[in-house]
């Protein structure tokens, strides 16, 4: 694989861009692999990458029923932060945030990481107390955050209205090293690096069954034939329950639609990310000038990759009170993704009742920010059988009552 560089851009410009290689290959599946990862989204590709980079396991296939990064990885609002209250959550999200900072250099692919900072608005007295508590917890965890005044919020985001009639801004939890990245580029960068290590990325290949013998996984049935493996990783977000059913066990999750939208492009007016958890709305501005707006998950189970207009109306109506200027904007695009929610709103990274079968799911509404840390932990678990980062998120915590309740701690479902 040729490295990308400024020199390569000049060289290809002189050759009319005739010498660029494919970013990743498109092979036919082999009969057998050491590891199969089902799901070529960010989490699945990151798992494969760290299996190769850290643990030197490269006889790996990443199987995707659609196109690479076409699920939630390409349908999110790109927020990256690690300001969580619970220690296990803060540990894995801070690992991810730190890996994001050097990811472009590690992958030799520009993922457009932008540490512009994230403000979580406190708009009730309850949130003020909660975010002050989180700031103290983050200090103990080594996560750099601070509770800031309303005046500091306005200084960081001049377009905000502090004295909204229903949702006044009373302060905010500020993480200066949080930010955004380009969602597609994260998937493409990991895919390119995996392909360079000799891994096979197989698209348009749906898994139709999981094979086992004597309680151990032996392979998968797919629309391109049977493929054997020694270890299997299931990383398929909203369809985790479907794959788990194929493997013979159940998961404590539900799948719902999460939706977002972007406005028409406008001139730069906002260079931070703002989250308003009282109304579960969040907003940032993309490099193209679009206002990227996200809201809460729909209240009913679905596998449809679209949202409901009433939810968008509720989110935008509340955000307009805090950002009056967006009332004049037109919506450009509106979409949804399928997210899998656990009871405690924390993920599952775990062994399963089927031997040598592992699962990574339950990221709810905030999986993008965790991609590098999630992949690191899942790869470590699959390679070594144990992982300090993944340990607290094991499947048996629901039976033992060791919940990691971030729905209360974070104020949102991740």
Per-residue pLDDT tens, the chain, 414 aa: give them.
788 999 999 998 999 998 898 989 999 999 999 999 999 999 999 999 999 999 999 999 999 999 999 999 988 899 999 999 999 999 999 999 999 999 999 999 999 999 999 999 999 999 999 999 999 999 999 999 999 999 999 999 999 999 987 889 999 999 999 999 999 999 999 999 999 999 999 999 999 999 999 999 999 999 999 999 999 999 999 999 999 999 999 999 999 988 899 999 999 999 999 999 887 889 999 999 999 998 878 878 888 877 677 778 888 988 999 999 999 999 999 888 899 999 898 999 999 999 999 999 999 888 999 999 999 999 999 999 999 999 999 999 999 999 998 875 555 545
CA distances from 169 to 270, 275, 328 (A): 17, 12, 22
CB under 8 Å to 286, separation ≥6 — which residues?
A: 262, 292
Strands across the sheet with 253-263, in order?
146-148, 171-175, 118-122, 273-276, 281-285, 291-301, 253-263, 331-342
Rounded CA separation 15/291 (Å):
37
Structure token digits, residue 221: 């049935």
If we measure between CA atoms, which residue out of 297, 285, 276 comes closest to residue 366?
297
Rounded CA separation 380/377 (Å):
5
How many C-beta atoms surround the C-beta of residue 345 within 10 A?
Answer: 23
CB under 8 Å to 29, separation ≥6 — which residues?
A: 61, 63, 200, 202, 205, 222, 224, 225, 227
CB under 8 Å to 41, separation ≥6 — which residues?
A: 64, 69, 71, 72, 73, 187, 235, 236, 237
Q: Are 25 and 195 in contact, with CB atoms under 8 Å apart?
A: yes
**Superfamily of structural domain 118-178+255-341:** D-Amino Acid Oxidase, subunit A, domain 2 (3.30.9.10)
Rounded CA separation 75/70 (Å):
8
Structure token digits, residue 192: 């390119």
The full set of domain ranges for the chain reads 29-82+84-92+183-252+344-409, 118-178+255-341
- 3-state DSSP of 226-243: EEEEEEEEECCHHHHHHH
**Overall fold of domain 29-82+84-92+183-252+344-409:** FAD/NAD(P)-binding domain (3.50.50)
């Amino acid at each position: 694989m040729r490295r990308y560089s400024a020199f390569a851009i000049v060289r290809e410009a002189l050759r009319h861009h005739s010498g660029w290689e494919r970013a990743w290959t498109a092979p036919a599946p082999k009969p057998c692999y050491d590891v199969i990862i089902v799901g070529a989204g960010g989490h699945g590709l990151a798992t494969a990458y760290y299996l190769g980079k850290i643990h030197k396991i490269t006889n790996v296939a990443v199987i995707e029923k659609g196109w690479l990064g076409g699920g939630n990885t390409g349908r999110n609002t790109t927020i990256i932060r690690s300001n969580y209250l619970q220690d296990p959550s803060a540990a894995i999200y801070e690992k991810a945030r730190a890996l994001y900072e050097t990811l472009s250099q590690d992958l030799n692919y520009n993922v457009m990481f932008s540490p512009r900072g994230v403000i979580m608005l406190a708009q009730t007295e309850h949130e003020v107390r909660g975010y002050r508590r989180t700031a103290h917890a983050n200090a103990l965890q080594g996560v750099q955050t601070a509770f800031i005044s309303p005046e500091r919020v306005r200084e960081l985001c001049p377009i905000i209205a502090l004295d909204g009639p229903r949702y006044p801004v009373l302060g905010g939890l500020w993480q200066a090293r949080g930010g955004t990245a380009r969602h597609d580029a994260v998937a493409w960068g990991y895919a390119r690096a995996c392909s360079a290590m000799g891994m096979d990325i197989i698209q348009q290949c749906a898994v139709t069954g999981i094979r086992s013998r004597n309680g151990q996984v032996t392979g998968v049935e797919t629309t391109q034939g049977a493929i054997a493996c020694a270890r299997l990783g299931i990383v398929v977000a909203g369809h985790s329950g479907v794959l788990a059913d194929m493997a013979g066990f159940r998961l404590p999750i539900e799948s719902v639609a999460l939706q977002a939208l972007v406005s028409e492009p406008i001139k730069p007016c906002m260079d931070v990310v703002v989250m308003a958890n009282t109304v579960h709305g969040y907003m940032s501005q993309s490099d193209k000038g679009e206002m990227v707006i996200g809201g809460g998950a729909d209240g009913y189970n679905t596998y449809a990759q679209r949202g409901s207009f009433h939810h968008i109306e509720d989110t935008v109506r509340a955000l307009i009170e805090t950002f009056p200027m967006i009332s004049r904007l037109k919506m450009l695009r509106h979409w949804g993704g399928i997210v899998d929610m656990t009871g405690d709103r924390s993920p599952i990274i775990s062994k399963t009742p089927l031997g040598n079968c592992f699962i990574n799911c339950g990221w709810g509404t905030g999986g993008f920010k965790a991609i590098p840390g999630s992949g690191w932990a899942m790869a470590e678990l699959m390679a070594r059988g144990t992982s300090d980062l993944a340990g607290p998120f094991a499947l048996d915590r629901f039976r033992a009552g060791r919940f990691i309740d971030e729905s209360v701690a974070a104020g949102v479902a991740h």
